[in-house]
A and B are shown apart, each in its own frame.
Chain A
């Protein structure tokens, strides 16, 4: 049984998501490893708005075209 392009794309996205989740969890563990230190909650704030993400994506497209 061969995989379609869509299947492969789904697997790629799943892997990308899993990697992002694992990296975030590992990083969070590192930040909270020492119970004596206060937790830096600012690290887990979402600071990029949808508009900023869109502008960045547009910039990448423009960069690729140039």
Chain B
């Protein structure tokens, strides 16, 4: 087996990922910061497009936010299963994910309530709830960036090249 192509620390996990998933993505966490950056853009663009109808624009924004978060969550779960991130990193992501999900669903509920009553107070609450989302995405982004500086600890099932004496 040749060991010269990739970084030593991540190589076994990367190989496991490639063998088991069959995909070409070598290290999902590396690209997560880009996904999250685009999530921010998606939310902002969604808010800017279709401004003539506030509720419809909010619905589209939340739909894009939902799709992109779920994609990110799926990729992080795959990274955790293939040991590309540590258990601690996964737990930190999961905690941030729960916070994001709660905020996202709170925004959905706020718009649902606004749709029923259409009061100024409900509108303000809905606006405040949706404005919270980019901040939370930024926090997850910053957290994932730290994952890249904290290499995953390989398990005994997937020893590093150093551990196997290469």
Contacts and interface: CB of A to CB of B under 8 A. Distances in A.
Interface of A: 5-6, 8-10, 12-14, 16-18, 20-21, 23-25, 27-29, 31-32, 35, 38-39, 41-46, 48-51, 53-54, 56-58, 61, 64-65
A12 B38 contact: no
A39 B71 contact: no
Contacts of A28: 59-60, 62-64
A28 B97 CA distance: 23
Interface residues of B, number: 52
B24 A8 contact: yes
A54 B31 contact: no
A-B CB proximity, top 3 nearest: A24-B67, A28-B63, A50-B94
A22 B165 CA distance: 48
Given A5-B26, A13-B34, A21-B67, A39 B115 contact: yes
A17 B35 contact: yes
Contacts of B31: 9-10, 13
A10 B25 CA distance: 8
Nearest to B78: A57
Given A17-B35, A17-B38, A54-B90, A44 B70 contact: no
Given A9-B24, A12-B25, A58 B63 contact: no
A45 B105 contact: yes
Contact of B73 (A17, A53, A64): A53
Interface stretch (B106-114, B117-125, B145-153, B155-163): B106-114
